[in-house]
C-alpha cells in the first residue's frame, strides 16, 4: 500500500541518487564495499549497513582496508557509516602500514599482547575488551591469513603465517598471546611455532576454550550448520532440523542451496565464501595434533553452561566443558593452568558489558603480574 507509506525524508532521496566517490580514499572504500556487499556500485552517499553490512562484514572491511593502507577504527564505521563521512576519518599511510595486523592500542612500556581471532575469524571482540583493560602495553588483533579457494592449510602453516605478521610489530620475544573460543587453539599453535624458533612465550590467556578429548569429525556442511544456521534467530526449528538431517550427506554448496530453497537464507552464493573459510579453519583444528609445550596458560572460563538454541539430548556436554581446566590438563601439568572463573556463559562473558568488564579486570591483573615477574627476572639478571 504505497499511499500508506510516509514520505521519504531528504536523506532517503540522497541515498537514492547515485553520486560517484570522490578522491582516492572514497574510491578505495567504495571498491571494498562493492566486493564485500556484492553490489554493482557504491556511491558516496551510501550507508554501509543499509547496503547489507553487519558486524562480521565490518570486521572483514577493517582487515581488507588495513591491507590497502587505510587506517580507521570500528567505532569510526559505526559513527559514520556513510561512505563520504567515513572517508573523512580514514588515514592513508602506506609507509607505516603493516598488513595482517590491527593496532587496537599502541601505547605502553611493556611487550604487546597479540589477540587471535575466534573460530569465526572474528577479532572484533578485542576492540570492546581492550577499552576496559587497564594495562601498560600495546594491544594488537591478528586476523586470519587469507585462504584461497583451493587452499586447505594446516594449523601449523596458519600459525607460521601469523608469526610473520607479529614479527613485523615485535621482531623478538618475549611474546604474549591471547585468544577467545576455539581460535585460542591457534594461539597455542603460534606458541608452538615461536618456541620452535627459540622465542620465549611467557604469557598465554585463553578465554573459555575447551580442548576436546576426541574432536568430533565434521563435514564442511556440518560446520556451516553449527556456525551459521544454529544461532540464526530467524530460522525456526522445523527448517533447522531439516537442514541438520541433510548436512551429513551433502556438500557445503548443496546445503546452502537447500537453505535458500526453504527460505532460510536469501542467496546461497553470498554465504559460500564465508562458510568456506569457517570450514577450512575448522578442518585445520580437527587435524591439529596438540603437543605438550613448556608453557603456562591463564584459562578464563565461563561459570555458566552454554545452551544453544537447539538443545539436543543425544549430543551431551563433554567432560572438558564441565571442568575449569577445559581439558588442557591432558597436555599441560595442572600447575601450569591458572583457571579463573568469569561470570556468564561462553557467549555472554564477552557480549554482556558487565561480564566483559570483569573479564577485562582479571586479564589486566594477569598481564600486570606477568610484567612484574619479567621485570624482577630482568633485575636479577643484571
**CATH number (domain holding residue 30):** 1.10.1200.10
Dihedral in degrees, nearest 10, Cα atoms 274, 276, 281, 283: 150
- Give the pLDDT mean for 144-163: 82
Q: Do 199 and 116 belong to one domain? A: yes
Asked if residue 185 has pLDDT above 90, the reply is yes
Residue 97 lies in a domain: no
Pairing verdict, β 139-141 and 176-180: unpaired
Q: Which three cell numbers stand for residue 252?
A: 557445503
Helix, strand, coil share of the chain (percent; to 5):
45, 10, 45
Q: Residue 254's closest CA among 238, 271, 237?
A: 271
Query: What domain count does the chain have?
Result: 3
Q: Do 170 and 228 belong to one domain? A: no
Q: Output the domain CATH number for residue 344.
A: 3.40.50.1820
With beta carbons less than 8 A apart as the criterion, state whether 90 and 72 touch: yes
Please report which confidence band the pLDDT of residue 243 belongs to, taking 50, 70 and 90 as the band edges: very high
Q: Do 200 and 306 belong to one domain? A: yes
Mean model confidence pLDDT for the chain? 82
pLDDT, tens digit (0-9, with 9 covering 90-100), for 333-367: 999 999 999 999 998 998 888 999 999 999 999 99
Residue 98 lies in a domain: no
How far is 365 from 151, CA to CA, in rounded Å?
40
Residue 224 lies in a domain: yes
pLDDT score for 114: 96
The residue segments making up the domain with residue 228 are: 220-287
Residues in the chain: 382
Q: Do 50 and 197 belong to one domain? A: no
Q: Do 157 and 111 belong to one domain? A: yes
pLDDT score for 316: 37
Q: Residue 305's closest CA among 360, 355, 338, 343?
A: 343
DSSP H helical ranges for the chain? 10-16, 23-37, 55-67, 74-79, 83-87, 125-131, 155-169, 183-196, 220-224, 237-247, 252-261, 268-287, 319-322, 348-351, 353-381
Q: Do 259 and 322 belong to one domain? A: no
pLDDT, tens digit (0-9, with 9 covering 90-100), for 27-79: 778 878 988 888 877 888 899 999 988 878 888 898 888 777 788 888 889 88
Please report which confidence band the pLDDT of residue 95 belongs to, taking 50, 70 and 90 as the band edges: low
Amino acid at each position: 500500500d504505497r499511499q500508506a507509506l510516509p514520505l521519504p525524508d531528504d536523506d532517503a532521496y540522497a541515498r537514492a541518487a547515485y553520486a560517484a566517490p570522490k578522491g582516492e580514499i572514497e574510491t578505495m572504500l567504495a571498491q571494498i564495499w562493492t566486493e564485500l556487499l556484492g553490489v554493482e556500485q557504491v556511491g558516496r552517499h551510501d550507508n554501509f549497513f543499509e547496503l547489507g553490512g553487519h558486524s562480521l562484514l565490518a570486521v572483514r572491511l577493517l582487515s581488507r582496508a588495513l591491507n590497502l593502507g587505510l587506517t580507521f577504527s570500528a567505532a569510526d564505521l559505526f559513527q559514520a557509516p556513510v561512505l563520504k563521512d567515513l572517508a573523512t576519518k580514514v588515514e592513508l599511510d602506506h609507509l607505516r602500514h603493516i598488513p595482517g595486523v590491527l593496532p587496537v592500542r599502541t601505547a605502553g612500556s611493556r611487550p604487546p599482547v597479540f589477540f587471535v581471532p575466534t573460530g569465526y575469524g572474528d577479532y572484533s571482540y578485542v576492540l570492546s575488551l581492550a577499552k576496559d583493560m587497564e594495562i601498560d602495553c600495546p594491544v594488537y588483533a591478528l586476523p586470519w591469513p587469507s585462504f584461497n579457494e583451493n587452499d586447505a592449510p594446516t594449523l601449523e602453516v596458519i600459525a607460521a603465517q601469523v608469526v610473520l605478521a607479529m614479527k613485523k610489530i615485535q621482531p623478538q620475544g618475549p611474546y604474549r598471546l591471547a585468544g577467545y573460543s576455539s581460535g585460542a587453539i591457534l594461539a597455542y599453535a603460534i606458541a608452538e611455532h615461536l618456541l620452535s624458533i627459540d622465542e620465549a612465550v611467557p604469557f598465554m590467556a585463553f578465554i573459555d576454550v575447551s580442548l576436546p578429548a576426541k574432536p568430533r569429525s565434521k563435514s564442511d556442511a556440518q560446520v556451516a550448520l553449527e556456525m551459521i544456521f544454529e544461532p540464526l534467530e530467524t530460522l525456526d526449528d522445523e527448517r533447522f532440523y531439516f537442514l541438520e538431517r541433510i548436512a551429513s550427506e551433502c556438500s557445503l554448496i548443496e546445503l546452502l542451496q537447500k537453505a535458500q530453497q526453504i527460505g532460510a537464507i536469501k542467496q546461497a552464493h553470498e554465504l559460500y565464501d564465508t562458510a568456506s573459510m569457517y570450514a577450512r579453519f575448522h578442518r585445520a583444528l580437527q587435524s591439529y595434533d596438540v603437543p605438550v609445550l613448556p608453557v603456562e596458560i591463564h584459562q578464563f572460563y565461563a561459570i555458566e553452561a552454554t545452551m544453544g538454541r537447539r538443545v539436543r539430548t543425544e549430543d551431551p556436554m563433554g567432560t572438558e566443558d564441565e571442568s575449569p581446566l577445559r581439558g588442557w590438563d591432558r597436555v599441560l601439568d595442572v600447575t601450569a593452568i591458572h583457571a579463573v572463573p568469569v561470570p556468564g556463559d561462553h557467549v555472554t562473558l564477552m557480549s554482556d558489558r558487565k561480564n566483559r568488564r570483569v573479564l577485562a579486570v582479571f586479564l589486566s591483573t594477569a598481564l600486570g603480574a606477568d610484567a612484574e615477574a619479567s621485570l624482577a627476572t630482568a633485575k636479577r639478571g643484571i
